[in-house]
Amino acid sequence: MSEARDEQLELMIGRVLKTGVFASGICLVIGLALLYVPGGARAAGILINVGLIILMTTPATRVVVSVYEYMRERDWLFVVLTTIVLVSLLGSLLVGLLT
Amino acid sequence: MPVATPLFQALTFLAGAVAGLLGALLGIGGGVFLVPFLNLGLHFPYQSAAAISLTTVIATSSSVSAARSGRHLINMRLGMTLEVATATGAILGGITAQELSQSTLQLLFGIVTALTAFAMLRRIGRRNVILDPNAPLGRLGGRYFEDESGGMVSYQVKRLPLGLGASFIAGNISSLLGIGGGVVKVPVLNAWCGVPMRAAAATSAFMIGVTATAGAVIYYGHGQLIAALAAAAVIGVQVGSWGGIKLSTKVKARWLKLLMAVVLLIVSALMIAKGM
């Protein structure tokens, strides 16, 4: 196990999280502001939902990045573990949509 | 379902800001403050309050972990191992939450809040022990530089099955109650699995994003998440925790923790009384 590679993954994940928080924050702030602009309700609704979806996709994205990185490292145990987490997240999406 | 009126938006934003501020100062998630405010204060149905709170939990986890990345405080391998248990627990919790009555959820929340208060009281005045920096790390161990003691801390992870069990329960109550679940994981990781407090807290905060997402997605899919109020709460929490981090160097955590433990016990009593 190489500590240098783990550090690289940590920094990559940090960037994914930062980008997600920033992007969703912008959508949410603009969306909320549009609620108070005449005729802006429709756009506001879309932007707010996009912001929330980006927010919920951010942790999932960092799991995808981890699966990919562990694959490159050929660390199969962690490929399996992170894939299970990813499948669970998709499972919860299905539960939410289908039940 | 409550409607996102401007008044509700403003109140949710403010509640989020206060929850984020306290959360950052106390080193706990803000959910324990936000859920009772929305449920008891604004009379939102429990599930709506939990759904809004979970979205703020995701935001806090992501921004806190982004800020910490590169400092080795977060034990990624341990976190990703335990996430298998929290994510599964969260899905089951999300499904169960649909079946449980409002009063059962309130009772459960009251119990968990009381536990949070006691955990906080126990942590007051406790310092980390410096462990042998050259000890072998094992497959899941970690090593990081600790600011307070000015030395390297390294540790091995012990009793992994216990950690997995605690994570499963944490995931379960997270989506059931709308909180992060750190209150269950952190003490177990620290006391039984040999993970130092700071690393346990950072790793837990990291995992919580995935846990809360598994729960939040279920509420979102069921149409129980009021988007505009969730947005107001998320922005509020982000602003509040930013302020909390700035303030944390100036405020004496000891007294604040004592005060907040009392507040949490009152919240717990109110919730239990409401749920009975």
Q: Tell me whether residues A32 and B235 touch, CB distance under 8 A.
A: yes
Give the per-residue pLDDT at A52: 97
**Cβ neighbours of B227 in A, within 8 Å:** 45, 48-49, 52
pTM, two decimal places: 0.91
Find the residue in B nearest to A85 (Cα).
Answer: B84
For the CA atoms of B106, B107, B110, B111, the dihedral, rounded to the nearest 10 degrees, stands at: -140
> For residue B159, what are its two tokens?
């009793």
pLDDT in tens, B129-144: 556 666 677 778 888 8
Name residues 151-170 of chain B within 8 A of A (Cβ). none
Chain B CB within 8 Å of residue A55 CB = yes
Burial class (CB in 10 A: 0-12, 13-18, 19+), A81: buried
Q: Is the per-residue pLDDT at B125 higher than 70?
A: no
Q: Is the per-residue pLDDT at B213 higher than 90?
A: yes
Average pLDDT score, chain B: 87
pLDDT in tens, B78-122: 999 999 999 999 999 989 988 899 999 999 999 998 988 888 787
Chain B CB within 8 Å of residue A31 CB = yes
Q: What is the mean pLDDT of residues A82-95?
A: 95
Give the per-residue pLDDT at B133: 62
- B197 vs A48, which has greater pLDDT? A48
pLDDT in tens, A36-80: 999 989 999 999 999 999 999 999 999 999 999 999 999 999 999
Shortest Cα–Cα distance, A97 to chain B (Å):
5
Give the per-residue pLDDT at B132: 65
pLDDT in tens, B28-44: 778 888 999 999 999 99
**Cβ neighbours of A15 in B, within 8 Å:** 66, 69
Average pLDDT score, chain A: 93
Give the per-residue pLDDT at B2: 78
Name residues 91-150 of chain B within 8 A of A (Cβ). 91, 94-95, 98, 139, 143
Q: Is the per-residue pLDDT at B48 higher than 90?
A: yes
Q: Which of B70-74, B155-159, B160-164 has the highest mean pLDDT?
A: B160-164
Give the per-residue pLDDT at B122: 78
> What is the number of domains present in chain A?
1
Using H for helix, E for strand and C for coil, what is the string for B41-103? HCCCCHHHHHHHHHHHHHHHHHHHHHHHCCCCCCCHHHHHHHHHHHHHHHHHHHHHHHHCCHH
The backbone torsions φ and ψ at residue B248, rounded to the nearest 5 degrees and listed phi first, read -60, -25
Domain ranges across chain B: 6-275
The domain in which residue A81 lies consists of 3-98
Quick one: what percent of chain B has pLDDT higher than 70? 94
Chain B CB within 8 Å of residue A43 CB = no
The Cα–Cα gap between B135 and B155 comes to 7
- B125 vs B169, which has greater pLDDT? B169
